[in-house]
């Protein structure tokens, strides 16, 4: 859609966040299945419920503007959730995965906070007072969730996660490595610094970009974890829906 006015920007962003929330719903469910910490699981489940209400609230916002609720592909959230999926696959143990999941969810929350902040400001400028009230309520919920995630990470999850010091530096007691250990670290680092096949990265990125292109835009969701193999088929179904 051509964006000629603040109204057009407002509608586009509303559709973007509507799509992002629906993606978030499925992602949160998948993440909470992988979570070990009961506190984190409960936090994700609570926010899943909140998000279901947010989707309904957004539908009312569309209705208050005499519009049919509709999403438009949100590449930013697709990217954030793709990163979350990779992280969940790569985390070597449960506590590391929990700490990583918090960071991934917070990245999405921060995106949402930014979007709702913009929508509140634009809604005010456009005089959509009912919409502004709902959007502000949702933004506050995202901010509270972000805050709770920070507290949980700082108080419980980060201290519980393996710091990795034992493997590399031999400095698990908090002291600096000895001369012998320092030399060993230096050797190990030198090995890791060996040139890598830079073209392999370029090729891989190009393939990923192609895959994204094929997926196109739709109102589908990114699958995390096990369901990944079916992803491009699902995401492709609504290709070309964005219009007007
Ligand atoms: Fe949300
Ligand atoms: Fe959220």
For residue range 68-124, list pLDDT tens digits in order: 999 999 999 999 999 999 999 999 899 999 999 999 999 999 999 999 999 999 999
Centroid of ligand 2 to alpha carbon of 13 (angstroms): 16
Using a 10 angstrom Cβ sphere, with 0-12 exposed, 13-18 middle and 19 or more buried, the burial of residue 18 is: buried
Go through 148-172 and write b for each residue having 16 or more CB atoms within 10 A of its CB, e for each that does not: bbeebbeebbeeebeeeeeeebbbe
Separation of CA 113 and ligand 1 centre (Å): 8
Question: Of the candidates 28, 110, 125, which has an alpha carbon nearest to the alpha carbon of residue 76?
Answer: 110
Q: To the nearest whole number, what is the mean pLDDT of the chain?
A: 79
CA dihedral sign of residues 160, 162, 166, 169? negative
What is the predicted pLDDT for the residue at 163?
Answer: 80
Q: How far is CA 128 from each of CA 39, 80, 134, rounded to the nearest angstrom?
A: 38, 30, 10
Ligand 1 centroid to residue 229 C-alpha, Å: 26
Q: Give dist(CA 178, CA 169) in Å, integer.
A: 9
Sign of CA dihedral 54, 55, 58, 63: negative
pTM over 0.95: no
Specify the 3-state DSSP secondary structure of 154: helix
Ligand nearest to the CA of residue 47, numbered in listed order: 2
* Residue positions counted in the chain: 244
Query: CA 205, CA 217: separation in Å to the nearest integer?
Result: 19
Q: How far is the CA of 131 from the centre of ligand 2 (A)?
A: 18
Nearest ligand, CA 115: 1
> Would the CA dihedral through 117, 11, 68, 124 be positive or negative?
positive
The pLDDT value given to residue 197: 47
Longest Cα–Cα distance of the chain, Å, equals 72
Segments of the chain scoring below 50 in pLDDT: 169-178, 180-181, 185, 191, 193-220, 226-244
What are the chain's domains? 6-162+179-230 (1.20.1260.10)
Task: Identify the pLDDT of residue 160.
Answer: 84
Q: In the 8-state DSSP scheme, what is residue 24? A: H
**pLDDT (0 to 100) of residue 196:** 45
Coil vs helix vs strand at 91: coil
98 within 8 A of 152, measured Cβ to Cβ: no
d(CA 63, CA 68): 6
């Amino acid at each position: 859609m051509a964006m000629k006015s603040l109204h057009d920007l407002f509608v586009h962003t509303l559709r973007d966040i509507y799509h992002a929330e629906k993606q978030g719903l499925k992602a949160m469910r998948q993440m909470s299945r992988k979570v070990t910490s009961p506190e984190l699981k409960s936090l994700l489940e609570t926010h899943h419920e909140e998000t279901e209400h947010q989707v309904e609230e957004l539908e009312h916002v569309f209705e208050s503007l005499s519009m049919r609720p509709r999403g438009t592909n949100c590449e930013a959230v697709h990217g954030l959730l793709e990163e979350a999926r990779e992280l969940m696959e790569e985390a070597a143990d449960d506590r590391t995965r929990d700490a990583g999941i918090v960071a991934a969810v917070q990245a999405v929350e921060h995106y949402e906070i930014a979007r709702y902040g913009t929508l509140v400001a634009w809604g005010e400028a456009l005089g959509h007072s009912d919409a502004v009230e709902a959007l502000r309520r949702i933004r506050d919920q995202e901010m509270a969730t972000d805050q709770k995630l920070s507290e949980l990470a700082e108080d419980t999850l980060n201290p519980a996660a393996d710091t990795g010091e034992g493997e590399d530096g031999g400095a698990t007691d908090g002291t600096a490595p000895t001369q012998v250990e320092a030399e060993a670290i230096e050797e190990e680092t030198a090995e890791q610094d060996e040139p890598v096949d830079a073209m392999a990265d370029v090729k891989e990125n190009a393939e990923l970009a192609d895959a994204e292109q094929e997926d196109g835009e739709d109102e589908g969701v990114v699958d995390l974890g096990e369901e990944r193999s079916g992803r491009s088929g699902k995401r492709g179904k609504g290709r070309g829906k964005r219009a007007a």
